[in-house]
Amino acid sequence: MDKDGRNPNANDETIISSGGSPGALTASGSSGFPSDAPTLQIGRTLAGRYKIISLLGQGGMGAVYKAQDLELDRAVALKVIRPELASNADILHRFKQELINARQVTHKNVIRIFDLSEDAGIRFITMEFVEGEDLRAYVARVGKLSVQEAVGTILQVCRGLEAAHAEGIIHRDLKPQNIIRQNNGRVLVMDFGLARSVDSDKMTISGALLGTLEYMSPEQANGKELDGRSDLFTLGIIFYELLTGSAPYQADSAIASLIKRSSERATPVIEIDPTVPRVISDVVYRCLEPALTDRYQSATEIIRDLDSWCAGNETVVSSSRTRALPAVRAKRPLRTAGIVAAILLVLSAATGVFFFWNRSSREAQSHKPITILVTDFDNKTGEDVFDNTLEPALSVAMEGASFISSYSRSQAHKIAAQMKPGTTVVDESLGRLIATREGITLVLTGSIEKSAANYLVHVKAVDSATGNVIGDESTDVADKSEVLPALNKVASKLRKTLGDKKSNSGAADETYTAASLEAAHEYAEGQKAQQSGKLDEAMTHFQNATKIDPSMGRAYAGLAIVYQNLGKRAESEQNYKLALERLDRMTDRERFRTRGGYYLVTHKAQQAMQEMAALVQQYPSDSAGIANLALAYFYQRDMQKALEYGRKSIEIFPKNVPQRNNVGLYAMYAGKFDDAIAQQKTVLELNPSFALAYVGMGLSQLGLNKPQDAAETFNRLASLNAGAKSTAALALADVALYQGKYQSVISNLPAAIEADVKAKDAGSAALKQLALGDAYLALGKNPQAVSAAETAIKLSQEDPVMIAAGRIFAAAGAAASVKPIIAQLAKKVEPDPQAYSKLLEGELALHTGNVPEAVRLLRQSQSSADTWLVHFDLGRAYLAANGAAEADSEFEICQRRAGEATALYLDESPTFHIYPEVLYYRAMAKQGLNSPSAGEMFSAFIAIKQNGDANPMLQDANRRLKK
């Protein structure tokens, strides 16, 4: 299975239905009003549109339900307003006005409010439904957060506040219960504006303030007029609690605490916990300044200072745990806080790559990301060459602003077909429905028409939620060859309207570098076909583009990706080289993407990382660049950074199926099996036929030692289609091998191999031959194992096949068969083949009894690439040398990196059956150390294999356990 299935290039109490506590729901309204809202029957439909699914909990304003919006086919949170609030005309008027205001806040870190509606006298609010738990429940569960995670959480809250404050909306009731954390680490703020609507009635309800006194700012407690700085004081209290696990103003009562914060300064965080960096402690301290003038004046200032600190450290949590950022080498002090700021020259500690952080990059990072959907142009010219040509060109031209990302038009058409069967055109109206469903900020709609003398190009940008026109630009040209440059000028003006400071009407920032409209048309058609999975059709269009314009480098890159997805690596590399020959004619963005794609295809992770990091540095909202940077980290086996960048990519487009699936796979390889399963479930909700999601889910279930669950998942995979059935057969064999059911594998795989050969799928047949070889090897049937491995390499010469076959040869004592594989791998310049060449040499030495030579060769292998197998083999070598302590250390690493054992060659081809051997060998190491845990590990190994076939390793484990 090819990894490049991960295609390179390619508010109120809502929610606590996953991991949260119902108590959080009660706490997060206006402070614990008793709810006497009418109870709604499950299955009831309100306003002919909202079908009640389940009760989520009770809040200060009323009951909260999960409902299905039947019109837009999405889940929403529906809050029924308490009758005494709903019947008060003044409250209702204020409520409605606040909702109108709060609805303008559209940001990924803010739960959106949709509408205030009524049905049969029942007033209710609808809002975004999000699964997660509130911050108070999360901290109660996991304890105080690491500095990195606390900073990442606060950064996201700040970005939500920044967006709200920009619209003139103040929260007034910010607290951990009003902050939701999803399982993927995304943080959202809820309840903007609603607290004010209830509070402004000055109702004298007993205990109405008890839930919020501990987070009030001094000016709010004194009844003064508030602005955004009040929210920032509250933010400081929350930040303090995340870092220390305790409140900053300890007192006998909430009132006493409130008095203290009005007259005293908080104890600096660094005095409570000296491990917290001083600069972070200073940020908290400045948030908690009692005097407004001494406090931070905006959320933007906090973001700037935290981002500066992040840039000076190797890791920071942005959307979940940690992600790599460039490390600062020069710093400047900040007024009163001593916070560092990024300087021009930034060094990436992880990659050794230098970047120039220019003015436009800083501006881009301070601009909140904008997502756009370009609908189908209205082609009034009657000329087919404009069909599906202007839309992708406009999308790329708009992405000339680093903070703008375009939503996949192919995906938009699929959603349109689901929403309105038979629809082939996505116009403005349908585009807005799709954008609302997918969380897209703007919809761009355009037209082109021809008069007697001119072509007129017109593009309009509208807010997806409100329909307000944000920008409206048009231009006319005399000849159709001038249409693409004219479209770029229109895009430049729209980018400037949206806040791009470097746009100008004459800029040619980013469009397809094509010599003719016809070539651009063919390229666009190729992209469309490729995104739809029609690879043969895509190849034809890309080839046509190169014939019309032989200098069009991106067309060759398109061909390269098609060949890669067809498994034709040589043809892919050839076309990438043709694209690279045409770099001089490309824009910066095209060059980054082309070189980065080439390095990913050739598995040159270091170079790919350099290109993608530079791309993301210049275009921070380029979701494909971020996703490919994650892939580059993955190829370097830095699973944590791969996971973090993968999560960041789906922050921009949460419903991008391939990228979300990658996040699940990265979590699997990182050993975060529960997280992986959660991501894959989301993928399958979005696309139930996405085969790779079943593979990731099943392997993660096996990683949790749930072979029955894994088998059920793989059987579901088998029901999809013939290709999925072949994949499932190999995965089910891995489950059987994991459990020690070797005879079952030997009996069942030959039929699956025969089906692969008949389908001319030699690669899949080869992988199954290797699984067959492992079964024979486990039973001590070495000649049959060698025969299976020999058949495998006749079917496929791919590196993973050759390496796995070499390991079987070495273990079976067929040294003559291993040496040609070692020589073949050694000829390659990439780190992985070099590493595996030495690893096979080391295994050969180990199996022939030359342990010192084995260790030397394995250490050489590790210097090329730190693979999971090298630690496994080193552990076995140290055991053979009676080095129990050293062996224990190596096997501990194997256990810590268990996720990598799911697919040893990073291609999703299942290999987790090797993992139980780690328990067996580490038990032997523990035995050598006279550790009582040896028995536990032998028992764990035996428990996995107890229903399997008798074999030498199982027999030895039983013997040692009895002893």
pLDDT grade, residue 163 (50/70/90)?
confident
pLDDT computed for residue 719 by the predictor = 94
pLDDT grade, residue 53 (50/70/90)?
very high
pLDDT grade, residue 127 (50/70/90)?
confident
Q: At what angle do helices 147-166 and 228-244 cross, to 10 degrees?
A: 170
The answer to whether the beta carbons of residues 490 and 455 sit under 8 Å apart is: no
CA separation for the pair 401, 405 (Å, rounded):
9
Arithmetic mean of pLDDT, 74-89 = 78
pLDDT grade, residue 935 (50/70/90)?
very high
CA separation for the pair 2, 13 (Å, rounded):
43
User: Does 59 have pLDDT greater than 70?
Assistant: no
CA-nearest of 62, 73, 71 to 122 is: 62
Residue-wise pLDDT for 484-524, tens only, equals: 888 888 988 898 888 877 544 333 333 445 666 788 778 87
Q: Which residues pair with 405 in a beta bridge?
A: 371
User: Does 881 have pLDDT greater than 60?
Assistant: yes
CA separation for the pair 105, 164 (Å, rounded):
5
How far is C-alpha 349 from the chain's CA centre? 22
Strand, helix or coil at 219?
Answer: helix
pLDDT grade, residue 529 (50/70/90)?
confident
pLDDT computed for residue 958 by the predictor = 93
User: Does 584 have pLDDT greater than 60?
Assistant: yes
CA separation for the pair 25, 13 (Å, rounded):
5
**148-to-272, 367, 788, 791 alpha-carbon distances in Å:** 17, 23, 49, 51
Residue-wise pLDDT for 391-440, tens only, equals: 888 887 887 777 888 887 877 888 888 778 888 899 998 888 888 777 78
Residue-wise pLDDT for 544-561, tens only, equals: 999 988 988 889 988 988
Q: Are strands 45-46 and 122-128 parallel, antiparallel or unpaired?
A: unpaired
pLDDT grade, residue 270 (50/70/90)?
confident
CA separation for the pair 197, 100 (Å, rounded):
12
CA separation for the pair 838, 841 (Å, rounded):
5
CA separation for the pair 611, 628 (Å, rounded):
10
CA separation for the pair 118, 813 (Å, rounded):
78
CA separation for the pair 194, 105 (Å, rounded):
13
Strand, helix or coil at 548?
Answer: helix
Question: DSSP string spanning 921-940?
Answer: HHHHHHHHTT-THHHHHHHH
Q: H/E element holding 471? A: strand 469-477
Sequence-distant (≥ 6) Cβ neighbours of residue 203 within 8 angstroms = none
H helix count then E strand count, the chain: 42, 20
Q: H/E element holding 851? A: helix 851-864
Reading the block at residue 508, the tokens are 């040619």
Of 4, 12, 134, 173, which residue is the catalytic one?
Answer: 173
User: Does 23 have pLDDT greater than 60?
Assistant: no
Reading the block at residue 33, the tokens are 């009003």
Cβ–Cβ contacts within 10 Å for residue 272, how many? 16
Q: Tell me the residue type at 851.
A: V
Q: Are strands 442-450 and 469-477 parallel, antiparallel or unpaired?
A: unpaired
CA separation for the pair 688, 708 (Å, rounded):
21
CA-nearest of 174, 162, 401, 105 to 303 is: 162
Which of 235-249, 318-332, 416-430, 878-892 bottoms out in mean pLDDT, i.e. has the lowest? 318-332
CA separation for the pair 380, 394 (Å, rounded):
17
Sequence-distant (≥ 6) Cβ neighbours of residue 751 within 8 angstroms = none
Residue-wise pLDDT for 356-392, tens only, equals: 222 233 333 456 778 899 999 999 998 888 888 888 8
CA separation for the pair 102, 78 (Å, rounded):
16
Residue-wise pLDDT for 694-733, tens only, equals: 999 999 999 999 999 999 999 999 999 998 999 999 999 9
The answer to whether the beta carbons of residues 77 and 54 sit under 8 Å apart is: no
The answer to whether the beta carbons of residues 213 and 258 sit under 8 Å apart is: yes
Sequence-distant (≥ 6) Cβ neighbours of residue 321 within 8 angstroms = 148, 149, 152, 185, 640, 643, 644
pLDDT grade, residue 619 (50/70/90)?
confident
CA-nearest of 281, 304, 360 to 159 is: 304
Residue-wise pLDDT for 760-807, tens only, equals: 999 999 999 999 999 999 999 999 999 999 999 999 999 999 999 999
CA separation for the pair 740, 172 (Å, rounded):
60
The answer to whether the beta carbons of residues 195 and 171 sit under 8 Å apart is: yes
User: Does 318 have pLDDT greater than 50?
Assistant: no
pLDDT computed for residue 253 by the predictor = 62
| Whether 73 is catalytic | no
Q: Which residues pair with 472 in a beta bridge?
A: 460
Strand, helix or coil at 242?
Answer: helix
Question: DSSP string spanning 147-186?
Answer: HHHHHHHHHHHHHHHHHHHHTT---S---GGGEEE-TTS-
Arithmetic mean of pLDDT, 733-755 = 97
pLDDT computed for residue 191 by the predictor = 75
Residue-wise pLDDT for 186-235, tens only, equals: 899 887 754 443 344 333 333 333 336 778 888 887 777 788 899 999 99
CA separation for the pair 310, 340 (Å, rounded):
9
Q: Which residues pair with 474 in a beta bridge?
A: 458
CA separation for the pair 450, 115 (Å, rounded):
42
% of the chain with per-residue pLDDT over 90: 39
Sequence-distant (≥ 6) Cβ neighbours of residue 418 within 8 angstroms = 73
